[in-house]
Amino acid sequence: MRTLEEARKWEEEKKIPEEKRPVFHLTPRVGWMNDPNGFSRYQGKYHLFYQYYPYNSFWSSMHWGHAVSTDLVHWEYLPCAMAPEDEYDQDGCFSGSSTTLPDGRQLLVYTGVRHIEGGPPGRDFYQTQCLAVGDGLNYEKYAGNPVISTEMIPDGGSLHDFRDPKIWQLDDGSYRLVVANRGSDKNGRILLYESADGFSWTFRKVLLENDGRFGRMWECPDFFRLEGKGVLLVSPQDMLPEGVEYHNGNGTVCFLGTLSEDGLDFHPEHHQAIDYGIDFYAPQTVLSPDGRRIMIGWMQNWDACAIRKPASPWAGQMSIPRELSIRDGRLYQWPVRELDALRAEKREFRDIEIEGEMSLPGISGRVLDMELVIRPGDAEKMYRRFSIRFAQGKDYYTSLRFRPHEFSLKLDRTFSGSRRAIVHQRSCFVDQGAEELRLRIILDRYSAEVFVNGGRQVMTATIYTEQEADGISFCCDGKAKLNLVQYNIRA
C-alpha cells in the first residue's frame, strides 16, 4: 500500500513536458486518469478531481488526482488529494463528488473499496460511501468512515456494486446524494440518500431502476434540474446496441423527465445517448456562478483503451467542458464559451464550391476550433457523400462522412495510425428536416470533438496520430457549398 505522501513525491518528480500533452484538455499529472470526480466550485475556482493511478499508465489502485481552473480551459495541477491507504478504502478511492460545508471546508464524498480477506475471487471487496474534508489542497478522511455502509443498501442490493456518489446541497442547507447500485435482479439502479449535515446519512428512496433496457450495472450518476426538467445522467456497463443510439459496452445515457417540486419523484419522458462518438464516459456536472450547467466527461472508453501505447507517460483525458441546455425535448451540448477567448488567427471562407477532392489555403492544424455549414451545391442533383478528413498526413487521416440520403454522419479513425483491433467508427443520425449540416470541430493534439447542428449531438474520439499529420481536406461526390471559419487555439 503506497501512501499519499509517496504519491505526492512521485508526481513531483515525474515531469511530463507540456508539448507532449493536449493544449487545453486535462490529462493526469502523471500516469493514468479515468472518471472526473468532485467537479465543483470552491473558493472562487473550479476544482476537478479525477480517478488516478500515478505510478503507471494503466488502471490500478485508485487515488484522486486534483486540478483547479478559473476558466475551465487552463488547468493547474494540485497535489494528489487522496490515496487508498485506509482499511475501508484499501482497494481504491473510487469515484465521487464534492460540496462545501457551512464552515467553509470542502467535503469530498467517494466510494471506498474495502478488501474482504478470503472473499470470492473477483468479488473480494465491498463498496461503501466515505468522506474526506479539506481546505482545497489537503484532505483528511473522516474518522467515522464509511458513512453509508453496506447495511444501508435496501432490498438485497449488491454489496459489491454500490458506488459513485454525487452530492448536492438543497436550499434549506441539507444534502442529498445519488449513488449507483446493482439490484437483486443484477440491473443497475440509482439510490437516493439524505443528510442534514453531510456526515450522517439515511436512505430515502430508489430514484430509478434499470429495467434491463440500458445495459446492466449503472455507474457515475448525476442528477439535477435544468430548465424545469429533471435530468439524470448515468453510464451503463454491458450495453446492447440500439440502432445508432446506443452501442455495445460502456455507454452514456441521459434521461429527461418531470421532477416533483421536492425533487424526489423523477419520471423520465425521454432518453438519449450523451455522446455518439467512441470516447466519452462517466460525465459529471457543475453549476457555474452565472448559472450554467457544465458537464465534463472522461474522454475515453473502457473497451478502447488499447488505442494508447502502454509506454506513454500519461493515459486518459477529460473532454472539453460543455454547457448543457434543453431544446425540442433533447439535451444539447456546446463547448464552454470560455474556449472562445483562446481563438486566434481567424480564417474564413464563404460559399466555396466543393466538388471532388480539395483543400483550402491556410486550413490545417491539430489544435483548432472550426465551424462549418454544408449545403447542397446543385438543386437538381443532390450529392450522396461529403467528407472531411483531418489529422491527415501521407499515411493517416480521421474522417467525418455525411450521407444526406441516409441522414447519417460517421466518425472514422480507422486510418488514424491505430494498430489495434478496436472500434474505430461510430455514426449518428442527424436532424432530418434540416437543409444544411452544421458542424463545430474541436481538435486538440490527441482528440476530436464534433458538435453537430448546434450541439444536438456530439461525437468524441481520441486520436493518437503523429502530430505532423495536420492536413485537412474535403471531398464531395457531387456539388456542395461550404462556409467555413477556422481558428487556431492558443492557450
- Phi and psi at residue 6, to the nearest 5°: -60, -45
C-beta closer to ligand DQQ: residue 191 or 370: 191
Q: Which residue has the cell 488547468?
A: 75
Among 55, 94, 255, 280, binds ligand DQQ (CB under 6 A): 94
35 has catalytic annotation: yes
Among 62, 239, 278, 307, binds ligand DQQ (CB under 6 A): 62
Q: Which of 42, 7, 27, 30 is nearest to 286 (CA)?
A: 42
Three-state DSSP state, 151: helix
Q: Which of 62, 69, 106 is nearest to 339 (CA)?
A: 69
Would you say how long the chain is, in residues?
Answer: 491
C-beta closer to ligand DQQ: residue 163 or 229: 163
- The reply on whether position 364 binds ligand DQQ by CB under 6 A is no
Strands (E), 210-342: 218-226, 229-236, 253-259, 266-273, 281-287, 293-298, 314-315, 322-327, 330-335
Smallest distance from ligand DQQ to CB 151, Å:
20
344: which strand partners?
488
The single residue of 35, 275, 279, 412 carrying the catalytic annotation is 35
Is-contact 205 233, C-beta < 8 A?
no
- Using CB under 6 A as the binding rule, the residues of this chain from 281 to 300 that contact ligand DQQ are 281-282
d(CA 292, CA 294): 6
| DSSP H or E stretch at residue 6 | helix 4-13
C-beta closer to ligand DQQ: residue 82 or 339: 82
Smallest distance from ligand DQQ to CB 93, Å:
9
C-beta closer to ligand DQQ: residue 67 or 370: 67
Is-contact 50 61, C-beta < 8 A?
no
Residue nearest to ligand DQQ (CB): 94
- C-alpha distances out from residue 281 to 16, 87, 110, 118, 301, Å: 25, 29, 18, 32, 6
- Using CB under 6 A as the binding rule, the residues of this chain from 142 to 201 that contact ligand DQQ are 163-164
Strands (E), 87-161: 93-100, 106-115, 125-134, 139-141
- The reply on whether position 308 binds ligand DQQ by CB under 6 A is no
Smallest distance from ligand DQQ to CB 390, Å:
28
C-beta closer to ligand DQQ: residue 27 or 427: 27
Smallest distance from ligand DQQ to CB 341, Å:
31
Q: Which residues contact 228 (CB under 8 A, 6 or more apart)?
A: none
Q: Which of 181, 5, 198 is nearest to 98 (CA)?
A: 198
- The reply on whether position 219 binds ligand DQQ by CB under 6 A is yes
- The reply on whether position 111 binds ligand DQQ by CB under 6 A is yes
Is-contact 303 250, C-beta < 8 A?
yes
x/- mask, ligand DQQ, residues 254-283, rule CB under 6 A, reads ---------------------------xx-
Is-contact 193 174, C-beta < 8 A?
no
Q: Which residue has the cell 421536492?
A: 262
Smallest distance from ligand DQQ to CB 164, Å:
5
x/- mask, ligand DQQ, residues 15-54, rule CB under 6 A, reads -------------------xx---------------x---
- The reply on whether position 82 binds ligand DQQ by CB under 6 A is no
Smallest distance from ligand DQQ to CB 251, Å:
12
- The reply on whether position 85 binds ligand DQQ by CB under 6 A is no
Query: Binders of ligand DQQ: how many residues, by CB under 6 A?
Result: 13
- The reply on whether position 220 binds ligand DQQ by CB under 6 A is yes
* Catalytic residue numbers, as ranges: 35
Q: Which residues bind ligand DQQ (CB under 6 A)?
A: 34-35, 51, 62, 94-95, 111, 163-164, 219-220, 281-282
